[in-house]
A and B are shown apart, each in its own frame.
Chain A
Amino acid sequence: EAGVVQSPRYKIIEKKQPVAFWCNPISGHNTLYWYLQNLGQGPELLIRYENEEAVDDSQLPKDRFSAERLKGVDSTLKIQPAELGDSAVYLCASSLDSNTEAFFGQGTRLTVV
């Protein structure tokens, strides 16, 4: 069974440019999470979806970040415009539902120059 798939694996962009990350969760998983991980720190939740509904986006900086999960399967996370401080690893995870363990993808390492 395929795990959580994220792309791209690495991304380097100039500041003020837009960037998008894509996540394909494990088949049948209704809950999807986006996490941000700064160097040397544990992951921090940005947003959680239950099917296509964003049920916890309190930590998502809405002035520049947006996310969608239109059909309740794949999801994209966008930053526009990117800032130097956005350099980090962006992790996607999924779980069968909100009561079961989450499985993580390998993440997208973003470098903003």
Chain B
Amino acid sequence: DAKTTQPPSMDCAEGRAANLPCNHSTISGNEYVYWYRQIHSQGPQYIIHGLKNNETNEMASLIITEDRKSSTLILPHATLRDTAVYYCIVRVYSGAQKLVFGQGTRLTINP
């Protein structure tokens, strides 16, 4: 699975959009980009995933660049409860389905 690079930490003001970047320059054509988050003392929580096109669900939006070498997770109106570690993972859709977590980005939402 391709490796991802994320900033170790970010801050965002409550109510503003939080934009979390992820670089995955070695991503292969059949690898998806997944995002999970982990709130303190809880297990990781699935947020969203995508292959080429931008995706949106009730939690977030995922913007993938045309060359697929980077992506951005957008939390449109961050709340204090969005404070967590956010993991960007690339994963082949078939075959071995191991999720390989990196260090993630520790996002702090400030009041």
Contacts and interface: CB of A to CB of B under 8 A. Distances in A.
Interface of A: 4, 31, 33, 41-45, 48, 56, 91, 93, 95, 98-99, 101-107
B15 interface: no
Contacts of A104: 43-45
Nearest to A4: B43
Given A41-B103, A42-B102, A31 B97 contact: yes
A41 B101 CA distance: 9
Contacts of B81: none
A42 B99 CA distance: 10
Contacts of A102: 46, 99
Nearest to A9: B41
Interface in B75-105: 87, 93-94, 96-104
Interface residues of B, number: 20
A93 B103 contact: no
Contact of B93 (A33, A95, A99, A106): A99
Q: Which 5 A-B pairs have the closest CB atoms?
A: A42-B101, A104-B43, A98-B97, A101-B46, A104-B44
B51 to A, nearest CB: 13
Interface of B: 34, 41-46, 49, 87, 93-94, 96-104
Nearest to B48: A101
A24 to B, nearest CB: 14
Given A41-B103, A42-B104, A101-B49, A56 B43 contact: no
A42 B87 contact: yes
A99 B28 CA distance: 17
Contacts of A98: 94, 97
Contacts of A106: 41-43
A45 B101 CA distance: 9
A71 B96 CA distance: 22
Given A42-B104, A99-B93, A93 B43 contact: yes
Given A41-B103, A42-B102, A105 B43 contact: yes
